[in-house]
Structure 1
Amino acid sequence: MTESSKTPLLDGIASPRDLRALPKEVLPQLCGELRRELIDIVSVTGGHLGSSLGVVELSVALHYVFNTPDDRLIWDVGHQAYIHKLLTGRRDRMRTLRQGGGLSGFTKRSESEYDPFGAAHSSTSISAGCGFAVARDLKGDKNKVVAVIGDGSMSAGMAYEAMNNAGAADTPLIVILNDNDMSIAPPVGALSAHLSRLVSSRSYRDVRRLAKRLALKLPRPLAVAARRFEEYARGLFTGGTLFEELGFYYVGPIDGHNLEHLIPVLENVRDMQTGPILVHVVTQKGKGYAPAEASADKYHGVTKFNVLTGEMKKPKTNLPSYTSVFADALIAEAKADPRIVAVTAAMPAGTGLDRFANEFPARCFDVGIAEQHAVTFAAGMAAEGLKPFCAIYSSFLQRAYDQVMHDVALQNLPVRFAIDRAGLVGADGATHAGSFDVTYLSTLPNMVVMAAADEVELMHMVSTQAHYDENPTAVRYPRGEGVGLDRPFIGTPLEIGKGRIVCEGTSIAILSLGTRLAPALDAAEKLSAYGLSTTVADARFAKPLDHDLIRRLAKEHELLITVEENAVGGFAAHVLQFLAQEGLLDGGLKVRPMTLPDKFQNHDTPERQYIEAGLDSSGIVHTALAALGRSKDAAAVTRFG
């Protein structure tokens, strides 16, 4: 059997227009082909498998019923959209998923006209959909707007803010709630499907509108009672009272894997001319692939894996990940201090707090996709004398910046932020890169901001946080593995605001913040071949700065280079301000700040991303030579060396 003959229906689909030409009877076969194709692709590329397997039928039904791309289909947490990509002309590029120059792992406006709105973080689809719907109305267009939210996204307050607005606006908007892990749905089946078709049908809606008009003619007490009885009856049999209170017409729950139930309901809501509608669809993460069904969390995001066994290919290195080092360090501190608690926003495995929860189940709190709440929740515990560690990815913490400022920094509450995925993150690209946390945290009074250069330094910084109660603290560390240093059982607290000299030189000083220390040391060795002696220092703290260290480096060297895995406006900006205020730039000192470039870098391997950013060892050597006027030597430095 040839490869193409395994997917005869899928082979004929170049766009949703081809899908809509198929008879309904063959759509289950197509769904089977899509599942096989998806599993085969992600086994090679890695990526978000479980979520996309769960929406195979839903993706097919949406493109079958709605006239995309004219009808706008907006996906929340875009990693649900792999099947959507397969159906919208991107199948031939799917094996480039999450690779340099290839397809994004999320929806992306520049990638396809079928991606009207980019999404990688969660809970944005209803807000965007409301904007699309209002814009449509103002332009006088008639297209449909469909927002697909789910995969835990309904735990975020932004979703309810959007629903409140959409319900008040009363403009036509269809929201599909993909309920795959929230356990808010009553059992689904034939009765549920029948009720969903009934309440979405024109006849039911006509009867309901007639009943409302008649109620207006009844005495007020009877009218109120009738309305409450109707709402109670619908809530009793179908659920959805909360969504109705927010102004949405609720339909569901319905089995999201049964096309015979799903398509008629979607056709009914497509033809409604009323205000906002919510269709509650129940799906199973990992549907159709036994290993993913058995372990939805493990197969949410996967590395390359063996399709037959489900076994994921382990990295070649035996080095510990920074995430696991953080978990070990925090567990060790928590064993010695019962006041230590941990908070995560729906990422227990991603932050290592699943291991903490196994050790201390009563002291670990997963608040769902609700970073704003997580930060203020931690602030409340800190105000009562606990020692909360709030573990959130760098790019996710951006969503809670107001809370970090008002509820933590302004009140000087000692919340401990553990910022995972700092710096560039490889395949997840710009949406998940931790490019800004040094900037947005260091600008706040009272904050102490640290960056770990290696896994041992991370342990010391976690210990510093555990023992320091004067101010809020943050430690940032990257995705990936450490450098292989022997680790102590428990860290040693550092002196606040003090860096360290790692190697001594006389001509050039490199002041590194974070895990660019290793390339900085490599650059120092390369520079010795040019007769240049280099001091390398680890700043450790972005705030407060080590003023004594910076003065020494400025006075004893011709050139000072700062290196950080952060955007313009971070560590280097604070160093330059200090140098200017101290008059240390007046004597001819050359200063070259090295930061991430002022752009959103596309997904690639982390190694190539850092080369592109110029933050590899050769980039540092090039910067040093160019600053010293050795342009010929600088030009000869390979950027891939």
Structure 2
Amino acid sequence: MSSNPGQGPHTPLLDTVDTPTDLRKLKPDQLRQLADELRAEMISAVGMTGGHLGSGLGVVELTVAIHYVFDTPTDKLVWDVGHQAYPHKIITGRRDRIRTLRQGGGLSGFTKRSESEYDPFGAAHSSTSISAALGFAVANKLQGRPGKGIAVIGDGAMSAGMAYEAMNNAEQAGNRLVVILNDNDMSIAPPVGGLSAYLARMVSSSEYLGLRSLASKVARKLSRRVHHGLEKAEEYARGMVTGGTMFEELGFYYVGPIDGHNLDHLIPVLENVRDSEQGPILVHVVTKKGKGYAPAENSADKYHGVQKFDVITGEQKRSAGGPPAYQNVFGDTLAKLAETDPTICAITAAMPSGTGVDRFAKAHPDKAFDVGIAEQHAVTFAAGLAAEGMRPFCAIYSTFLQRAFDQVVHDVAIQNLAVRFAIDRAGLVGADGCTHAGSFDVTYLATLPNMVVMAAADEAELVHMTYTAAMHDSGPIAFRYPRGGGVGVELPATPLLLEIGKGRVVREGTKVAILSLGTRLAEALKAADALEAKGLSTTVADLRFAKPLDTDLIDRLMRTHEVVVTVEEAAIGGLGAHVLTHASDQGLTDNGLKIRTMRLPDVFQDHDDPAKQYDEAGLNAPHIVDTVLKALRHNSAGVEEARA
């Protein structure tokens, strides 16, 4: 069995469980002990690796109950987002690797199809589970194969429209679809207890569900007025005791609320749901984030995502000091600007602390808006604010802004509305991996007419770009910046108003020109030092803008240098593509100029240490040097020679 002697807590029962098949051999009265051991093992593992803690702790009992009752992996279990799936990973054959979570070559921090047959659908973005589970359910139904689709979705994810789009279409799945609403934050129902558990068992029983179905058929044969009256009476009666009216309106049989930490309540309800001929069914489960670990229970937000921590005290092992985080620089700068500009407001999609909007909100609570996990709405809401003369800043992670691309095009760019996009987590993001990497924003934004796209090379540049965006009223403008702390430059007391479409020369040379966009500027300067040591005079320019390009600067450098290299922490189709197009249009390559573009590779890079990710991507100083030497010598100089 997959145990960890000497590395974790004493778990004699968990040591006998490697897969759900082993779990189903246990007696019901053993499940409480198993859940306790599973919780202890998860705490121990995350203490060593860091990662998402509170969400997983809240679903330990639910995880045990689902795998105990349903026939996974034949029944397809889809965890929404997936950050709560660590207990699921432990009991689905991955316990021996659980202490590699989010490490290079280790387990993903989210569900991942290539990891296990028990992960039928990969996730990391919110509110996709019901759609995916519906797909599994209908596919099995059409092909005459066994298997239900089971979606576990948190109440926060229910703020996204996609969840309701899926529920509106769910009737086609019949009893093949089960949605488990994990209500772990602000409960949408009365407190749970013995009465609610009894009611849940009653309304999930085959007798009750069958009676409801028969009553509905009989009522349809009666007059419309009688049918409507009976339907409303039954609806309100159930609504008074269960709160499920909304879900019933969407075509679901609602069961709940039930205590998600009481296995004696969970098991019989899930068994009823499993065996029911009615459907689709929504089971409302109330849980507590961080359950069973006092530090996480007492501070759900702080322990949602954690660094390595001391299991006994709960103290997280944070690095001391260092430059301020980029999102905090943005939030503080925007808050200060709003002191003298009443039109500035900030919008975030359920990530106030992650984007720095929480710092803005403390100073300007009436002008900060957290719209929930609803990026599409956030963008169009900002467009409406801009149309009425406000200066909205839409602060969204690069990877999440992808979800609102149509709104950026249709509601903002086409109408040339002055929405400011503060794009956090641009570029590689380390342990969160490819699902959260901000690889594509330069490509998908710089193609749009009317759009201005900036990239900050350091935290001081971010201050200037935030101010420049505030002052830009002639159309949409975006500025991107990375995850984590800055590079340590001094923050300006007074921000500069940058000229739109104008870069800056940081270092002047004559033979090689490195055109940097964003965070690779420091590596470009290191590369210039190495090239100078080899006798190659090098210019380094921080272009600042991917759109519009500083064509005057680019033309000058292309006409006076033998090699021009573009460097960006973004996917193909970004700065390099625009520079090449400009050079081609202007005939600048006709005189033998050597142009090379450096960008993120055309792959989805797995989670790893950021330094290793950059090395894998080929975006460090030695790679820049190697690119230049190859261009000049027309042979393989090799990165090792470049490092020398």
TM-score category by the smaller chain? over 0.9
Supply the distance in 1 between the matched residues of 2:494 and 2:233 (Cα, whole angstroms). 62
Within the alignment, does 1:572 sit opposite 2:541 as a pair? no
Structure 1 counterpart SS, 2:51: coil
Deviations 1:191-229 (A, max 9, x none): 111110000001212322332233234333222211111
Deviations 1:164-198 (A, max 9, x none): 01135546200011111243122111111111000
Supply the distance in 2 between the matched residues of 1:526 and 1:312 (Cα, whole angstroms). 39
For residue 588 of structure 2, what is the aligned residue in structure 1? Answer: 584
For residue 474 of structure 1, what is the aligned residue in structure 2? Answer: 478
Q: 2:352 aligned to 334, 348, 360, which one?
A: 348
For residue 318 of structure 1, what is the aligned residue in structure 2? Answer: 322
| Equivalent AA in structure 2 for residue 306 of structure 1 | D
For residue 21 of structure 2, what is the aligned residue in structure 1? Answer: 17
State the TM-score, normalizing by the size of structure 2. Answer: 0.97
Supply the distance in 2 between the matched residues of 1:345 and 1:199 (Cα, whole angstroms). 36
For residue 82 of structure 1, what is the aligned residue in structure 2? Answer: 86
Supply the distance in 2 between the matched residues of 1:384 and 1:53 (Cα, whole angstroms). 45
Supply the distance in 2 between the matched residues of 1:515 and 1:635 (Cα, whole angstroms). 21
1:494 to 1:59, Cα distance in 2 relative to 1, 3 A: same
For residue 225 of structure 1, what is the aligned residue in structure 2? Answer: 229
With 207-216 and 576-585 compared, the bigger mean Cα shift is at 207-216
| Equivalent AA in structure 2 for residue 461 of structure 1 | M
Structure 2 counterpart SS, 1:628: helix
Structure 2 counterpart SS, 1:199: helix
Supply the distance in 2 between the matched residues of 1:529 and 1:631 (Cα, whole angstroms). 20
For residue 504 of structure 2, what is the aligned residue in structure 1? Answer: 500
| Equivalent AA in structure 1 for residue 100 of structure 2 | T
**1:621–1:637 contact (8 Å) kept in structure 2:** no
- Per the TM alignment, residue 111 of structure 1 is displaced from its structure 2 partner at its CA by 0.4
| Equivalent AA in structure 1 for residue 541 of structure 2 | A
Supply the distance in 2 between the matched residues of 1:636 and 1:301 (Cα, whole angstroms). 38
Structure 1 counterpart SS, 2:559: helix
1:194 to 1:638, Cα distance in 2 relative to 1, 3 A: farther
- Per the TM alignment, residue 496 of structure 1 is displaced from its structure 2 partner at its CA by 0.5
For residue 189 of structure 1, what is the aligned residue in structure 2? Answer: 193
Deviations 1:45-89 (A, max 9, x none): 110001001100000000000111111111111101000001101
- Per the TM alignment, residue 336 of structure 1 is displaced from its structure 2 partner at its CA by 1.7
Q: 1:366 aligned to 360, 367, 370, which one?
A: 370
With 195-204 and 159-168 compared, the bigger mean Cα shift is at 159-168
Q: 1:59 aligned to 51, 54, 63, which one?
A: 63
Supply the distance in 2 between the matched residues of 1:601 and 1:139 (Cα, whole angstroms). 35
Q: 1:265 aligned to 266, 269, 274, which one?
A: 269
Structure 1 counterpart SS, 2:339: helix
Structure 1 counterpart SS, 2:208: helix
Supply the distance in 1 between the matched residues of 2:607 and 2:642 (Cα, whole angstroms). 22
**2:9–2:41 contact (8 Å) kept in structure 1:** no
Deviations 1:476-532 (A, max 9, x none): 000011111111234211010000000011110000000100000000001112111
Supply the distance in 2 between the matched residues of 1:216 and 1:316 (Cα, whole angstroms). 69
Supply the distance in 2 between the matched residues of 1:615 and 1:4 (Cα, whole angstroms). 38
For residue 601 of structure 1, what is the aligned residue in structure 2? Answer: 605
Structure 2 counterpart SS, 1:68: coil
Supply the distance in 2 between the matched residues of 1:144 and 1:165 (Cα, whole angstroms). 16
Within the alignment, does 1:297 sit opposite 2:313 as a pair? no
With 220-229 and 77-86 compared, the bigger mean Cα shift is at 220-229
| Equivalent AA in structure 2 for residue 535 of structure 1 | T
Unpaired runs of 5+ in structure 1?
none
- Per the TM alignment, residue 274 of structure 1 is displaced from its structure 2 partner at its CA by 2.1
- Per the TM alignment, residue 630 of structure 1 is displaced from its structure 2 partner at its CA by 6.0
Supply the distance in 1 between the matched residues of 2:519 and 2:213 (Cα, whole angstroms). 64
For residue 96 of structure 1, what is the aligned residue in structure 2? Answer: 100
With 9-18 and 178-187 compared, the bigger mean Cα shift is at 178-187
**1:424–1:565 contact (8 Å) kept in structure 2:** yes
Supply the distance in 2 between the matched residues of 1:306 and 1:220 (Cα, whole angstroms). 64
| Equivalent AA in structure 1 for residue 130 of structure 2 | I
Within the alignment, does 1:545 sit opposite 2:549 as a pair? yes
**2:564–2:596 contact (8 Å) kept in structure 1:** yes
**1:134–1:171 contact (8 Å) kept in structure 2:** no
Supply the distance in 2 between the matched residues of 1:4 and 1:576 (Cα, whole angstroms). 55
1:156 to 1:632, Cα distance in 2 relative to 1, 3 A: closer
Q: Using the aligned pairs only, state the percent identity.
A: 68
With 91-100 and 23-32 compared, the bigger mean Cα shift is at 23-32
| Equivalent AA in structure 2 for residue 408 of structure 1 | V
| Equivalent AA in structure 1 for residue 258 of structure 2 | I
Q: 1:68 aligned to 72, 76, 93, which one?
A: 72
For residue 417 of structure 2, what is the aligned residue in structure 1? Answer: 413
Within the alignment, does 1:245 sit opposite 2:213 as a pair? no
For residue 407 of structure 2, what is the aligned residue in structure 1? Answer: 403
Q: 2:387 aligned to 342, 363, 383, which one?
A: 383
With 611-620 and 168-177 compared, the bigger mean Cα shift is at 168-177
- Per the TM alignment, residue 636 of structure 1 is displaced from its structure 2 partner at its CA by 3.7
Please give the residue correspondences for 1:423-572 in structure 2 after superposition, counting only pairs within 5 Å: 423-572=427-576
With 246-255 and 3-12 compared, the bigger mean Cα shift is at 3-12
Supply the distance in 1 between the matched residues of 2:533 and 2:359 (Cα, whole angstroms). 46
1:94 to 1:3, Cα distance in 2 relative to 1, 3 A: closer
Aligned length: 640
With 340-349 and 627-636 compared, the bigger mean Cα shift is at 627-636
Structure 2 counterpart SS, 1:64: helix
- Per the TM alignment, residue 633 of structure 1 is displaced from its structure 2 partner at its CA by 4.0
Deviations 1:339-371 (A, max 9, x none): 110000000011111111111111100000000
Unpaired runs of 5+ in structure 2?
none
Deviations 1:136-168 (A, max 9, x none): 011111212211111511110000000001135
For residue 34 of structure 1, what is the aligned residue in structure 2? Answer: 38
With 86-95 and 182-191 compared, the bigger mean Cα shift is at 182-191
Supply the distance in 1 between the matched residues of 2:123 and 2:29 (Cα, whole angstroms). 33
For residue 46 of structure 1, what is the aligned residue in structure 2? Answer: 50
Supply the distance in 2 between the matched residues of 1:324 and 1:52 (Cα, whole angstroms). 27
Deviations 1:366-415 (A, max 9, x none): 00000000101111111111111110000000000000001111111101
1:3 to 1:462, Cα distance in 2 relative to 1, 3 A: closer
Structure 1 counterpart SS, 2:83: helix
Deviations 1:96-150 (A, max 9, x none): 1001000000000000000000000010010011111111011111212211111
Supply the distance in 2 between the matched residues of 1:251 and 1:90 (Cα, whole angstroms). 32
Supply the distance in 1 between the matched residues of 2:264 and 2:623 (Cα, whole angstroms). 59
